[in-house]
Amino acid sequence: MKAIYFMSPTAKCVDAFIADFKPKPKYKAAYVYFTDYCPDDLFNNMKLYCAKYIRVCKEINMSFMPQEAQVFTCDNPGAFRSIYSPKSSDKQKTLETLADQLVTLCATLDEYPGVRYKKENNTENAKILAELVDSKLATHYELDDSGKKKGKTQAQLLIVERGFDPVSPILHELTYQAMAYDLIDIQNDTYKYKSKDGSEKQAVLNEDDMLWVKLRHKHIAEITISNLAQMMKKMPSFRKQLTEKTIHLQLAEDCMQQFSNNVEKLCKAEQDLAVGSDVDGVKVKDPMRTLLPVLLHPYSTHDKIRAVLLYIFSLNGTTDENLSKLIQYIDTIRRDRSQEQTYNLSRWTPVIKDVMEDAVENKLDTREWPHQSECPAAWNGSGAVSARQKHKASAQDERRTGSRLIIFIIGGISYSEMRSAYEVTQAVKSCEVIIGSSHILTPTSLLDDIKGLSKGPMEPFTLEERSNA
């Protein structure tokens, strides 16, 4: 019998592999596939004991999760606590692992990017990760298959910490995907619902669902029967369309049923606190006057916590005494939800979208975004195209010329930030924006992550543990 081994390049995995062939082989032959670059010492150890049994030994860059067409994760929700908890003992190990995963992403894309990071006064996690990635990229690309050193490609990798924009993951978003993952219990991208006959069904929300791909970044108000029908006319497989139409009408209805008839007031308060001005552009002079009606209203505890956080962010912090007073308002009973549908304008734009636009226009300040490694020639200021100016798409526009901007946010990304990558890519046909993080955040999961910072040390995350999960 022959065996296929798909494993991480760790000492534990290699020792287990060797044990299958020493002293007596379990299999006639082995086909070995590593998820990442295998260090020479581990490879030589395998070769020493098992060379005559190994028929294939290849490294495939699979130590990251391609979540969507332009979104990836490192499948490591625990990274938030490992990096930011004062009780953590494994921050360096986690950063090393994230660096390895970013290198495999770049290798999969066949990119050797220039690396930059957001400089912060009170933390150096982005700088440390940038140094690790740059060093590991240099090692990985030291010699290519033809024995030559690979040069830099026309790409940039920007590394930034979650604290760079704490607002975007907290806000109530009214775009379809962000709203669904915030309000509906969607696990592993699987939406469970009941059909008309009462039977339970489920649908996977991924790239294979053409309607989902077309709808996910639209405002919830646009998910209507007439709009769905118009989209379906342009799609093949009529029977499949009907099923998808039913799913998305049900999901959109479920989203709206989760909203109370006072959601407009809640969203307006959130937007005013986040933006710092109201819908007419009048500056919010006293954020407490905006927050207080939210705290006095019987919104859910989670909604009130989110509003309090936005208030604190608007002031760049608050005193312990003030925080204690605010907490007194939070412990309230959740009110019954109404099915009445109301909407509010979304005025907040994720900060990372500004960064994307500045990057493709070569406008990032080098004092705020230092270069960890040399800047690729394509990004040295020539031929920059405005990302803020949306122009008509033509067949030629749709052919992107190869430049890539890769964004990595330490500590999680929100669905609104994911959407920004698509929006900037659509606006700038000459550059593809790819965004990723340790994991994807919803407002609830972020609150859980913050709560977990006070807990004790956790086991360090490794590629081996992820692949064996």
The tokens describing 134, both together, are 């740059």
Model's pTM, two decimal places?
Answer: 0.79
- pLDDT of 461 reads 47
Q: Clarify whether residues 355 and 455 are in a common domain.
A: yes
Domain termination residue (choose one: 230, 257, 284): 257
Give the residue, 402 or 63, on which the prediction is more confident: 63
Higher pLDDT, 426 or 264: 426
The band of 336, judged by pLDDT with boundaries at 50, 70 and 90, is very low
> Does the pLDDT at position 343 exceed 50?
no
**What is the CATH classification number for the domain harbouring 276?**
1.25.40.60
Q: Do 387 and 450 belong to one domain?
A: yes
Domain with residue 20: its CATH number is 3.40.50.2060
Both 305 and 417 in one domain: the answer is no
**357 plus 464 within the same structural domain:** yes
Q: How confident is the model at residue 413 (pLDDT cuts 50, 70, 90)?
A: very high
Does residue 20 lie in a domain region? Answer: yes
The confidence band for 60, taking pLDDT boundaries of 50, 70 and 90, is confident
Give the alpha-carbon dihedral of 323, 325, 331, 335, to 10 degrees.
Answer: -100
Look at residue 216 in the predicted model and tell me its pLDDT: 94
Burial 240-269 (b: 16+ CB within 10 A, else e): ebeebbbbbebbbeebbeebbebbebbbbb
Nearest residue to 183 (alpha-carbon basis) of 288, 266, 242:
266
Tell the residue number behind the tokens 């972020």, with chain if given. 446
Residue 334 lies in a domain: no
Q: How confident is the model at residue 156 (pLDDT cuts 50, 70, 90)?
A: very high
In a domain, 340, yes or no: no
* Mean per-residue pLDDT of the chain: 82
| pLDDT at position 307 over 50 | yes
Model confidence at 232: pLDDT above 70: no
Domain-embedded: residue 343: no
Say if residue 160 is in the same domain as residue 181: no
| 275 and 215 belong to one structural domain | no
Host domain of residue 278: 263-327
**Is 46 contained in some domain?**
yes
* Look-up of token digits 């900037």: 424
Higher-confidence residue of 249 and 232: namely 249
pLDDT at 170 over 50: yes
Residue 383 sits at the vertex; the CA angle it makes with 379 and 384, to the nearest 5 degrees, is 65
- Tell me whether residue 337 is in a domain: no
Task: Examine the domain organization and report whether 49 and 85 are in the same domain.
Answer: no
Residues 435 and 353 in one domain: yes
CA distance 73 to 66: 7
Query: What pLDDT does residue 333 have?
Result: 35
Please state, in angstroms and rounded to a whole number, the distance separating the CA atoms of residues 137 and 105. 11
Report the amino acid identity of residue 393: A
Number of domains the chain contains: 4
Tell whether 23 and 124 lie within a shared domain.
no
Give tens-digit pLDDT for 361-381: 888 999 999 999 877 665 554
Q: Is residue 44 assigned to a domain? A: yes
Give the separation between CA 224 and CA 197, rounded to whole angstroms: 22
Angstrom distance (rounded) from CA 105 to CA 115: 14
Supply 191's token pair. 């939406």
Domain CATH for 226: 3.90.830.10
- What would the pLDDT profile of 140-150 be if each residue is shown by its tens digit? 888 555 556 67
pLDDT, tens digit (0-9, with 9 covering 90-100), for 381-404: 444 455 554 444 433 344 345 689
Distance between CA 425 and CA 430 in Å, rounded? 8
Which of 257, 284, 309 delimits the end of a domain? Answer: 257
Report d(CA 450, CA 359) in Å as an integer.
30
Residues 220 and 282 in one domain: no
Q: Does a structural domain hold residue 79?
A: yes
Residues 353 and 454 in one domain: yes
Assign residue 360 the CATH number of its domain: 3.40.50.1910
